[in-house]
Every structure is written in structure tokens, then in C-alpha cells.
A and B are shown apart, each in its own frame.
Chain A
Amino acid sequence: MITDNDELKDFKLRPMKCECNYLNRSDGSAILSQGQTVAVVSVNGPLDIKMQSQSIGKATLEVLFSSKGGKPSIGDRYKEHVIRQTCESAILGCLYPRTGITVTIQELEDYGGFLACCLNACCLALLNAGLAMRHTFAAVSCAIDEQGNIQLDPAPAQLETSRATMTFVFESREKSLVTAFTDGSYSDSAYSEAMERCRSASDLVFQFYKQIVSKYSYVIG
């Protein structure tokens, strides 16, 4: 599928900045900026929940997305769903039966690649909360413009001229695809090329995770 390896090496993501334990009342929290896009995530759990929402086999995951202003919209619910599915596959919920885990995401700034930023912040907050996970996950977004060029981690100006936007989430162990979220029209080949590019760019995100976690943990690094 990949013909030109050099081309794949040529990727750049916008600079990332992260602060863990940003909120002291939550079990784990992270504020992450990717370029100008910023999101805060807090993780609480495992904690006691209502009887009717408990499940015997695994922890009940609740994801809440809150936009910056205005009333909650359908788009917010949709984002919640995507993030929930992704986190569910990563968290080892079977270790915490009859409990609940709450992930709350607050939008701060949206300048392109917002979903990817939310997902990455979620992963950092989950790590910070010390929940057992099968793998970590890294999200990378890209845009395909009219000429079919693929732009990784697009800025708002590039999003305006794009024909399609995609967000891919990869897991850390085998770099296999966990979640794909696409919008717009594109060809089969463009899709697989975009996926491969994002897959290689996800390495950068995993490196960043290590850098952040090694600040407070001796286990990594």
C-alpha cells in the first residue's frame, strides 16, 4: 500500500502542550493544546453509581461533552458517542465491576482538529487518573483538499478549502485502527493513503504522551 516511504516521513503536527492535574477535585485531568485548539478533560472513577446503571461484568463509562457556550447540540452528542466508543475499547473495565467512570470534556478553543485534541486529552487524563488500560490511543486528524492533497492536523484556513476531513485513532501496541471519523467525499485510495499517513504521525503523539507521563512517573522513561 505504501510506495514512497520518504513521503511518509515528511509529516508535521502542530505543537502540543499539556498540563496534567489541572483540576484538583478530579481523579485525573489534563488540559491539552494542539496549536490553537484547546480542550480540558477530567476523569472521575471508579466510583459508586446508581444500582440501575451498574453492570456486573464491567465498569459503566459515561462521557460528557460540553461546548463553550450556547445550548447543547446534536453534534455534541455525536462527539460524546465517538469518544465513548474509543475510551471503552481502551479501558480495562472488567477490573472495576459495578462501578462508574465519568469522563467530562470541556471545549475551550476550536481551531481545527478539535475531535483529535479531545481524544488525545482524554487519553492523557485517563493515564493521569491511573485507570488500567489495554492500550493508549492517539488521534490524528487530516484534511483532503480539492486537488486530493492530504494535509495532516489542518488549521482552520485549510479546513475551509478542504473537501473531506478525517480523524483516525490508533492504539499503541500494534498501531491498529480503533476509530475512524470522516466527513465529506473522498476516493478509496485517498482514504487509505490518509490512514497510513496518520498512522505514522501517531508516533509523534505517543512520544508526546511518554514525555508528559515520564514527568511524574518513574515507570516510563
Chain B
Amino acid sequence: MHSDTRAPLGLKLSAIGGLIFLLAPIALIFVYAFTTEEKSFQWPPPGLTTKWIGVTLGRADVWEALGLSLKVAAISTTLALIMGTLTAAAVARSRFFGRETISLLVILPIALPGIITGISLRSAFSLLDIPFSTWTIVLGHATFCIVIVYNNAVARFRRTSGALIDAAMDLGADGVQTFTLVILPNIATALLAGGMLAFALSFDEVIVTTFTAGNQTTLPIWMLEELVRPRQRPVTNVVAMAVVIVTVLPILAAYYLTRDGEHTAGSDK
């Protein structure tokens, strides 16, 4: 019988091969951000330079797109935090008519392809003559951010003992005090993790956004335009690297915040 702690060689090689397949393309982004080649995706890079980082920092269109993306992500995350937490509290704590329906309704925007959310919102806007604005983007984003917050919060609520709340109330805390002194500290890290993941998801969203943005440019839409019609490859390379760094940091932080419990963080994107 083979030893239990040692993996068969074939399995080990294919697992490591899989890891390389997963990570190498992302690593490549970091190399291309420093290439001196401007016109093509030549490999290996003919030379390395940090010049393009400075050029990118001076680009107004990149900054504007970044600003809009941050604004949308902040508003959507706030809305999602409020609605997701309330829903999670209700679903985890009580039995009520329509409970199953609500827990299904919440995951629907993620279960159906994003293009369906996008085009249905778009056609609803045109039916109701709603002009495109930051708020039409937020409307789409908050819809799928709720799931992320909800998933994190509902897992935490299930692990938090209801007796804590009863005890606080018995000891004379009113509703507001119970919430700020007992409930909130218990769910804070789950909300922080959920909020960061929702923020990252909104910051990155492009499929729904193309339908709800009109002429506005978020950072992913800027990237998409560059992908379809590459005009300034070096700037795109640097922006891509920056986006990887910005999205990776919240993931690592969320991992450290939730690893003591079950890893709810990314398990149901």
C-alpha cells in the first residue's frame, strides 16, 4: 500500500502544472508593464524601463475612469452592505413566509449570465426613458454586490449565538445598544470581508456596465476599449498591472480576516 502522505508523482506534476497555468499569465502582466516595446506584444521584451509608469500617472483619462470606478464601487458597496446585512439577519434568524424565495432571489443575479442582467436593465431604462448616469451603473452593480455581502453575513449570523442578543436585552440594553455593542462587533469582520469583495467585484465589472453606462467610462470600460482597439499598449500594460495589485490586496486581506472561520470569502463569487 502506498503511503498516505505522499502524492503519486503524476498527480503532483499535474497539480503543479495546473498552478503554473493559473498563475503564469498574471505574472506576465508584471513583466509587460516594464517593456520598452511599444507596437507589439513581443516576447522576450527587448528592454526594460519604468518610463511608462510616469506616463500613465500623467494621463487624465485614466484618472477620470479610475475616479468614476471608485465612486460607483463605493456607493454600490454601501447599498449592498445595508441590504445584504438586513436580509442575512432576517434569513438566518427567523422563519417567515417567502424566506426560501428571498434566499433564491438574492443569488439569481449571479447565477444568470451577466449579459442578461445587463440587457434587461438596459431595456428597462429605455422603456422608462431613464437617462444614463452614475446611478444607472450603481443600480446594476449593487444588484450583484448584495449576494457577496449576504453570503458573508449569513454565514457569520449562523455561527453567532442568538443567546448573546437575548442576554444583552435581558441586561437592559435597548435595540440600538444591542446592535452597536453586541451584534455589530460580532459581524464586523464578515462585513468588512464581504464589503471588500463586493468593492473589488464592482470595481472590475464590465459586462453589466457596458449596458448601463452610456457614454461614461469606468476603468474596465477603458480597458475594454484598449483591448478592442489597442492604441496605447504601454499605458494599458501599466494600468493592467495596477489593477492586479489593487484587486489582489483586498483578496489577501479578506483571506486573513475570514480564515479563522470557514472560508466564506470567495467561495461563492
Q: Are the chains A and B members of one assembly?
A: no
Tell me the B residues contacting A by CB distance below 8 Å.
none
